[in-house]
Amino acid sequence: MTTSRIIRKSTAPGTRARVEDKPPPAKKAAPRRVRPVPAVTRSIAILRLLGRSAEPLGVKAIADELGLVTSTCLHILRVLVEEDLARVDPATKRYTIGVGMLALARSVLERLSFPATVQPVLDELGAQWNATAVGCDVTGLEHMTVLALSKSKTPFRLHVDVGSRFPALISATGRLAAAYSDLPAAEVDRKFREVRWGNAPDLATWRKEVAAVRQRGYSIDRGNYIPGVTIVAAPILDRNGRLTHSLVIVGVGTQDAARGASIGRDLKERADKLSALLAQG
């Protein structure tokens, strides 16, 4: 390792200057670059599409939806079928998600303490507020994933299942993600504009709601994500104060301000306790 030499003048008369070796400043580590692997990216895109689709899909439909060459799509599908990650109906030649995905999902859930820890809390919340209670994993500003839920017993239920993925800035949890993000405001605004809302709030209003999150400890989406549906969320933080998960109540109908605030305070109290509990793990 090379060093730079520094000459220091002595303050004492009749003495010589001292020469010291000083190591060069440490180089900053270069950001890690992920080399694109098209086959893997396409395979994941196909699996996600099959997972979202309520109906079996043919090769051409999959290729058209994802912008793939049909022959390439077919080759990937054959490998996925061979690995039991996709299933094909021999009669119709249409594809669905394979049961092999269950084993992968189960192994992930077994390694996560959050679903088991949060499930009793969700059951209590669902019963108390007569609404669907959800526990989400929040990954930066890219997406959120449902890890646990307790469905409402009311006749009308919103369709959400464990494993469902949503844009990270959508709805009440999206306001949490923005509030605890380290990204520049301009980048957060750009991602906000990319989100598809049922009844999109204007950016200025949304910013104010994001700013209020840290003050009151919860967020409310009143019909922006799904018209006529109010959603309340509170943040679960790690020991460094970073957002990792959210507790969510999905209520049907436009709730009055007092009820929304009551749900928010309840969620915040439970989320704070879960934050402390999970930080010990």
Same domain, 117 and 228: yes
Model confidence at 156: pLDDT above 70? no
Q: Is residue 257 part of a domain?
A: yes
Residue 164: exposure state from Cβ atoms within 10 A (0-12, 13-18, ≥19): middle
Residues 192 and 64 in one domain: no
Residues 179 and 260 both lie in one domain: yes
Final residue before a domain boundary, out of 99, 134, 150? 99
pLDDT one-digit tens code per residue, 218-276: 999 998 998 888 999 999 998 889 999 999 999 866 657 788 899 999 999 999 999 99
Residue 97 has pLDDT above 70, yes or no: yes
CA dihedral for 194, 158, 96, 146, sign (positive or negative): positive
7, part of any domain: no
Res. 12: pLDDT tops 50: no
Let me know whether 131 and 229 are in one domain. Answer: yes
Asked which of 17-26, 71-80, 146-155 is least confident by mean pLDDT, the reply is 17-26
Give me the helices (H) in the chain, please. 38-52, 59-66, 70-82, 100-111, 114-129, 171-179, 185-194, 203-216, 257-279
Residue 119: inside a domain: yes
Question: Which one is predicted more confidently, 54 or 23?
Answer: 54
List pLDDT tens digits, range 187-200. 999 999 988 888 88
140: domain range?
113-279
Query: What is the rounded average pLDDT of the residues 38-45?
Result: 93
Of all residues in the chain, the percent with pLDDT exceeding 70 is 82
In a domain, 189, yes or no: yes
In a domain, 272, yes or no: yes
What span, in angstroms and rounded, lies between the C-alpha atoms of 124 and 264?
15
Q: Which amino acid is at 139?
A: T
